[in-house]
Amino acid sequence: MPDRPHTPLLDQVTRPADLKRFSDAQLTQLASELRAETVSAVSVTGGHLGAGLGVVELTVALHAVFDTPRDKVIWDVGHQCYPHKILTERRDRIRTLRAKDGLSGFTKRSESPYDPFGAAHSSTSISAALGFAVARDLGGVTPEGLGDAIAVIGDGSMSAGMAFEAMNNAGHLKKRLIVILNDNEMSIAPPTGALSTYLSRLYTEAPFHELKAAAKGAVSLLPEPFREGAKRAKEMLKGMAVGGTLFEELGFSYIGPIDGHDLSQLLPVLRTIKARATGPILLHVLTKKGKGYAPAERARDRGHATAKFDVVTGKQHKAPSNAPSYTSVFGKALVDQAARDDKIVAVTAAMPDGTGLNLFAERYPSRCFDVGIAEQHGVTFSAALAAGGMKPFCAMYSTFLQRGYDQVVHDVAIQRLPVRFAIDRAGLVGADGATHAGSFDIAYMANLPGMVVMAAADEAELVHMVATAAAHDDGPIAFRYPRGEGVGVEMPEQGEVLEIGKGRMIQQGARVAILSFGTRLAEVQKAAEALAAKGITPTIADARFAKPLDRDLILQLAHDHEALITIEEGAVGGFGSHVAQLLSDEGVFDHGLKFRSMVLPDTFIDQSSPEDMYTTAAMNAPQIEAKVLEVLGVAKIGEKRA
Ligand SMILES: Cc1ncc(C[n+]2csc(CCOP(=O)(O)OP(=O)(O)O)c2C)c(N)n1
Ligand SMILES: CC(=O)[C@@H](O)[C@H](O)COP(=O)(O)O
Ligand SMILES: [Mg+2]
Clarify whether residues 625 and 520 are in a common domain.
Answer: yes
Report, as an integer, the average pLDDT of 441-470.
Answer: 98
* Closest residue to atom 1 of ligand 2, CA basis: 79
Q: In what order do the strands lie in the sheet with 477-480?
A: 368-370, 344-348, 391-397, 420-424, 477-480, 452-455, 545-547
Cα(323) to centroid of ligand 1, in Å?
A: 28
Ligand in closest contact with the CA of 80: 1
Question: Which residue's alpha carbon is nearest to atom 21 within ligand 1?
Answer: 51
Q: What pLDDT sits at residue 199?
A: 87
Rounded distance between C-alpha atoms, residue 149 and residue 166, angstroms? 13
Residue 436 and residue 585 in one domain: no
Query: Is the minimum distance from the CB of 136 to ligand 2 under 6 angstroms?
Result: no
Q: Is 531 in the pocket of ligand 2 (CB under 6 A)?
A: no
Neighbours of 616 (CB within 10 A): 17
Q: How would you list the strands of the sheet with 594-600, edge to edge? A: 504-507, 539-542, 512-517, 563-571, 594-600
Specify the amino acid at residue 46.
G
**Residues noted as catalytic:** 289, 375, 403
CATH number at residue 596: 3.40.50.920
What is the number of the ligand closest to the CA of 98?
A: 2
AA identity, residue 352: P
Read off the amino acid at residue 94.
I
**Which residues on neighbouring strands pair with residue 253, listed in sequence order?**
281
pLDDT tens, residue by residue, 125-171: 999 999 999 999 999 999 999 999 999 999 999 999 999 999 999 99
- The Cα–Cα gap between 605 and 617 comes to 8
Does residue 97 have a pLDDT over 90?
yes
User: Residue 63 falls within a domain, yes or no?
Assistant: yes
Question: Is there a contact between 531 and 625 (Cβ–Cβ < 8 Å)?
Answer: yes
pLDDT value at 604 more than 70: yes
Q: Does residue 133 sit in the same domain as residue 261?
A: yes
| Residue 241 included in any domain | no
Do residues 133 and 270 share a domain?
yes
* Any atom of ligand 2 within 6 Å of the Cβ of 79: yes
Q: Answer yes or no: is 416 within a domain.
A: yes
Closest ligand 1 atom, residue 55 Cα = 21
On the 0-12 / 13-18 / 19+ scale of CB atoms within 10 A, 181 is buried
Residues 347 and 467 in one domain: yes
Residues annotated within a binding site for thiamine diphosphate: 79, 120-122, 156-157, 184, 293, 375
| Same-domain status, 281 and 346 | no
Question: How far, in Å, from the CA of 188 to the mean position of ligand 1?
Answer: 6
Same domain, 93 and 184: yes
Task: Report the atom number in ligand 2 closest to the C-alpha of 120.
Answer: 3
Q: Is the CB of 425 under 6 A from ligand 2?
A: yes
Has residue 596 been placed in a domain? yes
Query: In this model, does residue 541 exceed pLDDT 60?
Result: yes
Q: Which residues are annotated as a binding site for Mg(2+)?
A: 155, 184
The count of structural domains within the chain is 3
**C-alpha span between 340 and 601 (Å, rounded):** 42
Structural domain includes residue 491: no
All residues at 6 or more sequence positions from 366 whose CB lies less than 8 Å from its CB, including other chains:
none
Instruction: Encode pLDDT of 329-388 as tens digits.
Output: 999 999 999 999 999 999 999 999 999 999 999 999 999 999 999 999 999 999 999 999
Structural domain boundaries, residue 270: 9-188+249-298
Name the residue at shortest CA distance from atom 11 of ligand 1: 187
Atom number of ligand 1 nearest to Cα 156: 16
CA 552–ligand 1 middle distance (angstroms):
44
Give the model's pLDDT for residue 214.
34
Task: Examine the domain organization and report whether 597 and 462 are in the same domain.
Answer: no
Nearest to 286, CA basis, from 310, 267, 262: 262
If asked whether residues 331 and 288 sit together in one domain, one would say: no
Q: Do 474 and 510 belong to one domain?
A: no
Residue 242's pLDDT band, with cuts at 50, 70 and 90, is low
Q: Do both 258 and 123 map to the same domain?
A: yes
Burial 278-311 (b: 16+ CB within 10 A, else e): eebbbbbbbbbbbbbbebbbebebbbbbbeebee
Say whether both 270 and 415 belong to one domain: no
Neighbours of ion ligand 3 (CB under 5 A): 154-156, 184, 186
Assess if residue 588 is contained within a domain: yes
Q: Evaluate whether ipTM surpasses 0.90.
A: yes
| CA separation for the pair 453, 422 (Å, rounded) | 10
Q: Let me know: does 629 contact 635? Beta carbons within 8 Å.
A: yes
- 230 has a pLDDT exceeding 90: no
Q: pLDDT by residue (tens digit) across 161-212?
A: 999 999 999 999 999 999 999 999 999 998 888 888 888 888 766 543 333 3
Q: How far is the CA of 432 from the centre of ligand 2 (A)?
A: 7
Residue 308 domain-assigned (yes or no): no
Query: Does 483 contact ligand 2 (Cβ within 6 A)?
Result: yes
Q: Which residues pair with 507 in a beta bridge?
A: 540
pLDDT greater than 80 at residue 473: yes
Q: Return all residues near 24 (Cβ < 8 A) that are at least 6 apart.
A: 263, 264, 267
What CATH number is associated with residue 345? 3.40.50.970
